[in-house]
């Protein structure tokens, strides 16, 4: 139903501003840029925005260098991609608040902030939903579009390794590869590259790891970041690594930002739910992978979150793999 509405509202629009979430990941950028390519193929004007710096690894995605931070120009529709609440868009849509907003996302915690909301928690990535849209709109895949959409799917499934990767997803991957996307190149860019500075910070954070009541966690302070020379530390994939700890059911990484707020990156084993904890602290995500941004200081945030995480690590949710 809302997939149908999404197609219709996109067909009717002529000048479209597309935005994705701050601290962008591969799914965020690829779904936003991918949708603009689809709309341009239909003869429309479409521009992508992300109100944040792009991690170096994502600057190699097709058309990533054309992304603006804040929408400027004249538009008749806003589209939000991969963002579960409007604060995740930063100032991308500043000044365009009166325009209708199409909200396309796959986070179970999406608060439905659009004029039209198309939210599919069963989709492995927002990029997968954009692939469905391309099909609905009759736009054929080309190598650039296929690479972008595969980047989103590969990024959010950790290289096609998460439990939600079904035969249908793999058939979509085959289509994208046949259209010209390189799975090997994307896996290499998204997962096999880390700067020496990032590696050292990763090691230092790993050395400080703690474990209590099924929760494994570590802290990255401002001082650690400054010493490493890394301005942003949200591209380390450290929480995904920590959840591999045999004894843990939940993993958390607390990163102190320059403004004192604390970024919390959460992971859970199948059957446990960190999306609910993240939502309770103003964030969001998926049951096995979620996050939130909490006002500091660090010393106050860590114990508050740990109490909630330890409770979540006690209760199996519904026993089903998310
Ligand atoms: P990350 O730990 O950064 O890889 O994020 C894991 C998941 O949680 C992704 O789906 C993010 O979109 C989501 N997420 C992370 N931080 C936030 C936040 N502050 N608010 C809402 N969702 C978030
Ligand atoms: Mn994302
Ligand atoms: Mn996503």
Averaged pLDDT in 10-residue chunks for the chain of 322 residues: 94 98 97 98 98 94 97 96 98 97 98 98 98 98 98 98 97 98 97 92 96 98 92 84 98 96 97 97 97 96 98 71 38
pTM of the model: 0.95
CB distance 88 to ligand 1 below 6 Å: yes
Same domain, 184 and 210: no
| SS3 annotation, the chain | CHHHHHHHHHHHCCEEEEEECCCCCHHHHHHHHHHHHHHHHCCCEEEEECCCCCCHHHHHCCCHHHCECCCCCCCCEEEEECCCCHHHHCCCCCCCCCCCEEEEECCCCCCCCCCEEEECCCCCCHHHHHHHHHHHHCCCCCHHHHHHHHHHHHHHCCCCCCCCCCHHHHHHHHHHHHCCCCHHHHHHHHHCCCCHHHHHHHHHHHHCCEEECCEEEEEECHHHHHHHCCCCCCCCCHHHHHCCCCCCCEEEEEEECCCCCEEEEEEECCCCCCHHHHHHCCCEEECCEEEEEECCCHHHHHHHHHHHHHHHHHCCCCCCCC
126 lines ligand 1 (CB under 6 A): no
Q: Same domain, yes or no, for 200 and 180?
A: no
Q: Ligand 1 pocket test: which of 284, 287, 288, 301 has the largest number of ligand atoms within 8 Å of its C-beta?
A: 284
Please report the atom of ligand 1 found closest to the CA of residue 282.
20
Q: How many domains in the chain?
A: 2
Same domain, 21 and 143: yes
Q: Which ligand is nearest to the CA of 156?
A: 3
Q: Are residues 97 and 150 in the same domain?
A: yes
Q: Are residues 22 and 168 in the same domain?
A: yes
In a domain, 322, yes or no: no
180 falls within a domain: yes
Give the atom of ligand 1 at the shortest distance from the alpha carbon of 83. Answer: 12
Last residue of a domain, one of 146, 162, 190: 190
CATH classification at residue 292: 3.10.310.30
**175 lies in the same domain as 276:** no
CB 251 near ligand 1, within 6 Å = no
The Å distance, Cα 299 to ligand 3 centre, comes to 30
Residue 50 lies in a domain: yes
174 shares a domain with 225: no
Look at residues 173, 190, 207 and tell me which one is the last residue of a structural domain: 190
Which residue puts its alpha carbon closest to atom 23 of ligand 1? 291
Full residue range of the structural domain in which residue 273 is found:
196-313
pLDDT (0 to 100) of residue 1: 60
């Amino acid at each position: 139903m809302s997939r149908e509405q999404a197609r219709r509202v996109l067909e009717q629009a002529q000048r479209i501003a597309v935005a994705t979430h701050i601290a962008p990941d591969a799914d965020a950028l690829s779904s936003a840029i991918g949708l603009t390519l689809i709309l341009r193929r239909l003869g429309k004007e479409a521009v992508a925005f992300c109100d944040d710096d792009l991690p170096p690894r994502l600057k190699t995605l097709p058309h990533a260098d054309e992304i603006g931070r804040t929408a400027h120009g004249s538009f008749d529709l806003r589209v939000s991609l991969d963002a579960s609440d409007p604060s995740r868009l930063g100032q991308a849509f500043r000044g365009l608040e009166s325009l209708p907003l199409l909200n396309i996302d796959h986070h179970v915690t999406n608060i439905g902030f659009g004029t039209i909301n198309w939210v599919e928690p069963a989709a492995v990535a927002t990029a997968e939903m954009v692939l469905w849209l391309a099909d609905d709109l009759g736009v054929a895949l080309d190598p650039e579009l296929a690479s972008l959409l595969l980047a989103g799917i590969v990024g959010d499934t950790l290289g096609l390794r998460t439990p939600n990767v079904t035969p249908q997803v793999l058939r979509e991957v085959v289509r994208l590869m046949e259209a010209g996307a390189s799975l090997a190149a994307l896996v290499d860019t998204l997962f096999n590259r880390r700067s020496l500075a990032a590696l050292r910070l990763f090691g230092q954070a790993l050395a400080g790891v703690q474990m209590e009541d099924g929760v494994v966690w570590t802290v990255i302070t401002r001082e650690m970041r400054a010493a490493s020379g890394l301005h942003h530390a949200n591209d380390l994939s450290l929480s995904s690594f920590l959840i591999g700890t045999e004894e843990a059911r939940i993993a958390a990484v607390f990163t102190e930002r320059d403004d004192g707020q604390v970024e919390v990156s959460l992971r859970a084993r199948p059957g446990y739910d960190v999306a609910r904890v993240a939502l309770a602290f103003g964030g969001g995500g998926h049951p096995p992978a979620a996050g939130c941004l909490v006002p500091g200081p660090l010393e106050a945030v860590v114990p508050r979150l740990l109490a909630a995480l330890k409770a979540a690590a006690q209760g199996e949710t519904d026993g089903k793999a998310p």
